[in-house]
Structure formats: structure tokens, C-alpha cells
Amino acid sequence: MKKKQWPHLEKPRERLLQSGARALSDLELLSIILGFKKPEESRNIVLSLIESSGSLRRLVKRPIPDLLQVPGIGPAEASSLAASYEFGHRILLEKAEKHPILKSIGDILNFLHYVMLGEREEVFMAILLDGKRRILKKLIFARGTPVYVQISVPSIVRRLNLEGAAFVIFAHNHPSNDVTPSEEDKALTRILSEACYAVGILMQDHLILGHQCYFSFAEKGYLKQVEPKVERLFFRPK
């Protein structure tokens, strides 16, 4: 936002009630979320918050300890901002979960986008599907860097079997935005595929997610079919 576009933040709540939230600027909305009442004080703090973040997307992803370093932002304001972001995230996730059948890579990526939104560390998860491709459950098996150190393949397979999964899609994010698979990623993918098939569960894909990019082991042909007669749900290696 350019400086000439910065409003004076005069009575943003009244403007919201009169004209609706869409009519308000970013600064006015943030002023309301943060609970500021004095217009000029609010303007300076909100401007400082946006400028130090660089963008709204970066702002909402800032951890609370980082937000507390901004002058004028205390525990109450930081908590309000974090809660607002999480509430919006849950609304998006609720919308995604109302269409639980994953028929294509696009369906999977859209769903994972909502699930992984805002994650600042590496997360390894699985989407469990029944025989009709409907989502049974999403499970997080590891969190941290690197996730493969924390992963127990036997424990994962036992859980998938217990939940009655017919198919499974594994995914983990790379916060660095480099989705190139490591040798550990490749080895883990092979071991998981073989272990799942051994108990009658077909692994459909293992996805590595960046901010606006992804790597699919199935698309790239890394997933070798354990049984040639079994056709994968989404992709066939070219």
C-alpha cells in the first residue's frame, strides 16, 4: 500500500457498520481487529506493523513473539491477530472438507493448500481415502526439521490399517520453497509404498509442497508399482 493511500482511520467501526467490511482499507480492518480506539495512535501502530512485515501474507504468518517486538503491539493485540487468522483458516478448511472426494492432482493440491496454510515448520501428513476415493481422515505423523528423522514406517502403516484406509496420499512441505526431493525423501517414499502395499493399502502419491509449487513422486515416475496389475488412481509414470 502506497503512503498516499493510507487513510486517517477515522471511526473505522462506524464505516464498517455503514458500508460493510469490503469498503474498509487494510489499515482500517487491522485497526478493528487489534482493538485500537484512538485513530492517530492506531494509524501509527498499524502502519508500523504492515511496514515491518512487508505484506499482509507475511504479517499473518509472523509468530506471536515476533509481533510483540512491534511498538504498540502487546499480548492482547498479538493474540487477536493470531486468532483472526486461525479463524479464517478454519473457515477455508471447512469449505475444502465439504468436497471430500479427491479425483485429481488439482483436488489434492487445493485440499492440502488449506491444510498446510500458515505452517512455518516441516510437517509430514497423510490423507486417508476409502475405496471410493472419499477422505476418511487427515493425519499428521511428524512435525519439525527434518521430518524423516521422526517417522516410524511401521507405526504409520499400523495406523492406516486401523483406520481402514484403502488408499493413502502422503505429503510434506518444504518451508524453504525448494521442492526438490532429497535422497531421504526418495528412500522414504519407496519404503512407505512397499510397506503400505504389503498390508493391502495402495499409496497414490507423495507430494512435496512449496508456497506455489509442488513435486509429485507419482507424476515424475518415482512410484514404482509393487504389483503391475494394480492401476494407480491418479497417475501413471510416463
pLDDT in tens, 36-88: 766 666 778 888 888 888 887 778 778 888 888 888 888 988 888 888 877 77
Terminal Cα-to-Cα distance of the chain (whole angstroms):
46
C-alpha angle 199-203-208 in degrees, rounded to nearest 5: 140
Q: What is the pLDDT of residue 169?
A: 95
Q: What is the pLDDT of residue 204?
A: 92
- Checking if the pLDDT of 153 tops 80, the result is yes
- Checking if the pLDDT of 187 tops 80, the result is yes
Cβ contacts of 41 within 8 Å, gap of 6 or more:
72
Mean pLDDT value across residues 178-202: 92
Q: What is the mean pLDDT of the chain?
A: 80
The reply to whether the predicted model has a pTM over 0.85 is no
Q: What DSSP letter does each residue of 112-146 carry, written as one string?
A: HHHHHTT--S-EEEEEEE-TTSBEEEEEEEEESSS
Q: What DSSP letter does each residue of the chain carry, written as one string?
A: --GGG-----SHHHHHHHH-GGGS-HHHHHHHHHT---HHHHHHHHHHHHHHHSSHHHHHHS-HHHHTTSTT--HHHHHHHHHHHHHHHHHHHHHHHTS-B--SHHHHHHHHHHHHTT--S-EEEEEEE-TTSBEEEEEEEEESSSGGGG--HHHHHHHHHHTT-SEEEEEEE-TTS--PPPHHHHHHHHHHHHHHHHTT-EEEEEEEE-SS-EEETTTTT----SSTTSPPSS----
Domains of the chain: 3-92 (1.10.150), 99-216 (3.40.140.10)
Q: Which of 97-106, 109-118, 201-210, 217-226 has the highest mean pLDDT?
A: 201-210
User: What percent of the chain clears pLDDT 90, i.e. is strictly above it?
Assistant: 26
